[in-house]
Structure 1
Amino acid sequence: MKTLHHILLAAAMIAPGALVAGAATAQVGGVAVADPEAAVANSKAWATARTQIQTTYKAQIDQANARRQAISNELQPLVTAYQTAAAAPGATEASLRTQATAIQTREQAGNAELQRLTAPASRAQAYALEQISAKLPDAVNAAVRAKSVSLLLRPNAALFAQPTADITAAITAELDRTVPSVGITPPANWQPGQQGQQGAAAPAAAAPATNNRAPTGR
């Protein structure tokens, strides 16, 4: 989930130093790694919320999946025709522009349609994730204290780390303890970010309309 990463990254960075908070009180110096996004994604509250959302919004999600396939089927002959024209002798960007524009316009319209169809589910996902992510700094701090960690890094920031140095599971356990469940029905006036996260946006419940993007021409 690409957008999930951005939501959880924003949550983990609510306050500077959130991932190393508690270092000053660590009893024993130690370095550890943790993936805050994975900690939230692996939480029981998110697993339950995701299942509830898939059930509650099944009709909309099924409709979006059907439309995504239909849009892909509509685009495929256009893309094939474009590729054939692009391979023809003398093809230029100018001669291909009309076809490329038609493909891009249809794809954009398809994506907009899918976003409308999945908006309720996406909003519910964002609401659930925001509730869990609001507890992430506290969960990190608790895990850091329990493990006597003086420096906590993201896995991709460490050149090497033993598996035992990863405290992601400990953070998830703290989340499971402090936020065992969340609601999936946001208030009517709720907007992502109201609980303190900045830059949060609902993860798309539907993938882009198609992967058949037109080449840009010669």
Structure 2
Amino acid sequence: MKKMFKTVALGSALALATVAAQPALAQKASKAEGGTIVPGLGVANLDAVIANSNAYKTAEQQRETTYKAQYDQAQARRDQLTAQLQPMVDKFNTDRQAANPNQASLQQQANAIQQIQEKGKAELQQILQPVAMSQAYVQEQIEDKLNDALKAAMNKRSVSMVLSPESVIAFNGAAYNLNQDILNELNTALPSAQLVPPAGWEPRQVRQARAQQAAAEQAQQSTSTQPAGR
């Protein structure tokens, strides 16, 4: 089934963990086929680790069955929107190519098309909301285990600093790549994830935003109730 909902990056950004310097740092740089290897340094793509984890891949497969009704409903609604919009778009393009196009009419047509598109997009998002919540729930479960998996891999490889691939121009993959090590630790810590979030569950970003708002309101109330200074 072709998925209509792309995973949104709802998970919070994970800070790259650093651990105490290992004895390997005191060793001299060693030689390898790819050149000089700097001890204690590693490179990891955490997004790739998440996407290749057993918990993530299993959830992706299960979601197609669990949320089949939502996928089918969204596809049917998308087909309806396409059937409604296509004649409007064709007429707009035809009128636009006229020798003396009516600009006012074209603007009205464009506005009507845009309104239907925006309304349709909102409808599709509403239909697929359970899917989005499931994706966010699985993502958060994995992220909760990822930092510990990263630390464990770093300790086993005597690594004290990890860089993202985006910050490195080139590197000897075999010597520095920690992806598989982190993935092994993550798969052990979280073989599978719960697919359906419990009732009332909200993504971490939403919970944090609510907490910040509540703290701000409480601080404002506290300030307003303090007696005025003399």
Q: TM over 0.5: same fold?
A: yes
Question: Does residue 187 of structure 2 align to residue 176 of structure 1?
Answer: yes
Tell me the residue number matched to 1:188.
199
Tell me the residue number matched to 1:50.
60
Q: Which has the higher contact order (CA 8 A, sep 6+)?
A: 1
String of CA shifts for 1:143-172, please: whole Å, max 9, x gaps: 222222233111121111222122122211
- Provide the rounded CA distance (Å) in 2 between the counterparts of 1:2 and 1:50: 11
Deviation (angstroms), 1:192: 0.2
Deviation (angstroms), 1:83: 2.8
Where in structure 2 are there 5+ consecutive unaligned residues? Answer: 25-38, 210-230
Tell me the residue number matched to 1:7.
10
Tell me the residue number matched to 1:19.
16
The alpha-carbon distance between structure 1 residues 195 and 98, as it changes in their structure 2 partners (threshold 3 A), is closer
Asked whether the 8 Å contact 1:134–1:196 carries over to 2, the reply is no
Tell me the residue number matched to 2:220.
none
Tell me the residue number matched to 1:166.
177
Tell me the residue number matched to 1:63.
73
Task: Return the match for 2:44 from 23, 26, 34.
Answer: 34
Q: How many residues align?
A: 190
- Provide the rounded CA distance (Å) in 1 between the counterparts of 2:177 and 2:68: 36
What pairs with 1:107-186 in structure 2 (closer than 5 Å)?
A: 107-164=117-174, 165-186=176-197
Which piece of structure 1 moves more, 160-169 or 189-198?
Answer: 189-198
SS of the residue corresponding to residue 75 of structure 1 reads: helix
SS of the residue corresponding to residue 32 of structure 1 reads: strand
Asked whether the 8 Å contact 2:43–2:178 carries over to 1, the reply is yes
The alpha-carbon distance between structure 1 residues 7 and 33, as it changes in their structure 2 partners (threshold 3 A), is farther
SS of the residue corresponding to residue 181 of structure 1 reads: coil
Q: TM-score, normalised by structure 1?
A: 0.76
The alpha-carbon distance between structure 1 residues 42 and 93, as it changes in their structure 2 partners (threshold 3 A), is farther
Where in structure 1 are there 5+ consecutive unaligned residues? Answer: 13-17, 199-218
- Provide the rounded CA distance (Å) in 2 between the counterparts of 1:178 and 1:119: 28
**Higher alpha-carbon Rg:** 2
Asked whether the 8 Å contact 2:45–2:164 carries over to 1, the reply is yes
**Matching residue's letter, 2:134:** A
Deviation (angstroms), 1:186: 1.5
Task: Return the match for 2:96 from 70, 86, 97.
Answer: 86
String of CA shifts for 1:199-218, please: whole Å, max 9, x gaps: xxxxxxxxxxxxxxxxxxxx
Q: TM-score, normalised by structure 2?
A: 0.72
Which piece of structure 1 moves more, 147-156 or 186-195?
Answer: 186-195
Asked whether the 8 Å contact 1:64–1:117 carries over to 2, the reply is yes
The alpha-carbon distance between structure 1 residues 34 and 84, as it changes in their structure 2 partners (threshold 3 A), is farther
Deviation (angstroms), 1:179: 1.0
